Amino acid sequence: MRPRTIVFLAAPSTQILDVAGPFQVFVRAADLFVQDYPSRKRPYNVVLASSTHRKTVTTNCGLALTGTETFRSLRGSIDTLLVAGGTGLEKAASDEELLAWLRTAAQRVRRIGSICTGAFLLAAAGLLDGKRATTHWKWAAELAKRSKLTTVDPDPIYIRDGNTYTTAGITAGMDLALALVEEDLGSPLALKVARELVLYLRRAGGQSQFSTALSLQASDRRQIEEIRTWALDHLEQDLPVDKLAARAGMSPRNFARVFLQDTGTTPARFVERLRVEAARRRLEESQDKLEKIVTDCGFGSITTLRRSFLRVLHVPPADYRSRFTGLPAN
């Protein structure tokens, strides 16, 4: 087989991790593939292409990336085209020559996608019209405003709609790259890449951009922070609102109001997400039976565990374990 050409399109002031992270995933996947199959060719040819006439792209942190191509000089077939995010996309989105090239390229590539705010360039070219897409949560509302024909979902870390892929911020680009490697070369190799790069997990595309524990760190109320810490240590217990309120020294009604105001979620939903995150880690890091995870994380039953996983992560717990850790479901 001829190597598949993976092109990263980057504009000036691109976010360096939007390029370097997923770029490295594909390169390392190719390295490991030829180690496993010495008689076969490298499966990927990974290319950085500038959105301007210059091959060098200065990133928004000041470091320069020098590619071998500009979008004008690219020749040959492109298998996968990924647009990196960054503050320079505002100017790129007004370049009619670039937008026309993107429209033409989209008809020829097997896959096209964006990392973080790269979705704005795809949207400017009309390539997200009629599609479901995501981007960094901070810019999701603006993307929806600019691309009214796109259904923008700010929660998932990445979304696939047909052959179009869009991702949330920065590290989600590596999650997408691993998912694409899995599509092309299989789960065992994708897992090997994840371990080589010391990536914590190949996350499901439907997984939320938001960490429940991190969301509470935005609160400056000592009682709310203490509840977060205490709840994490007592997930095996029943944690109704009145019990949490008592720990915070507040009435249930006032606690629920303050909690929602500070965190943007209800105490019940917060506890559910904490339980799901704890169970997710257990599924990733251990071979514990689902029954033990249910007990230790306070779900009450496997049915409740399954419903919570579907609601929060959009995947059943057994499938989550088998697909994203390589361990058998049980």
Which residues are the active-site residues?
116
Q: Are strands 158-161 and 151-152 parallel, antiparallel or unpaired?
A: unpaired
Query: Which residue's structure tokens are 């998932």?
Result: 156
Contact 103, 126 (CB under 8 A): yes
Q: What is the DSSP string of 180-236?
A: HHHHHH-HHHHHHHHHHTT-S----TTSBS--HHHHHTT---HHHHHHHHHHHHTTT
What is the Cα–Cα distance from 154 to 146, expressed in whole angstroms?
Answer: 15
Q: Which long-range contacts (CB under 8 A, 24 or more apart) does 212-215 make?
A: 212/265, 212/270, 212/273, 212/274, 212/277, 213/274, 213/277, 215/263, 215/264, 215/265
What is the Cα–Cα distance from 245 to 151, expressed in whole angstroms?
Answer: 38
> Which one-letter amino acid corresponds to residue 262?
D
Q: How far is CA 311 from CA 82, 120, 269, in A?
A: 29, 28, 11
Provide the greatest CA pair distance for the chain.
Answer: 69
Q: Are strands 111-114 and 80-83 parallel, antiparallel or unpaired?
A: parallel
Contact 178, 190 (CB under 8 A): yes
Contacts of 208 (CB under 8 A, 6+ apart): 155, 156, 157, 312, 313
Contacts of 323 (CB under 8 A, 6+ apart): 187, 204, 315
What is the Cα–Cα distance from 76 to 81, expressed in whole angstroms?
Answer: 13
205: how many CB neighbours lie within 10 A of its CB? 19
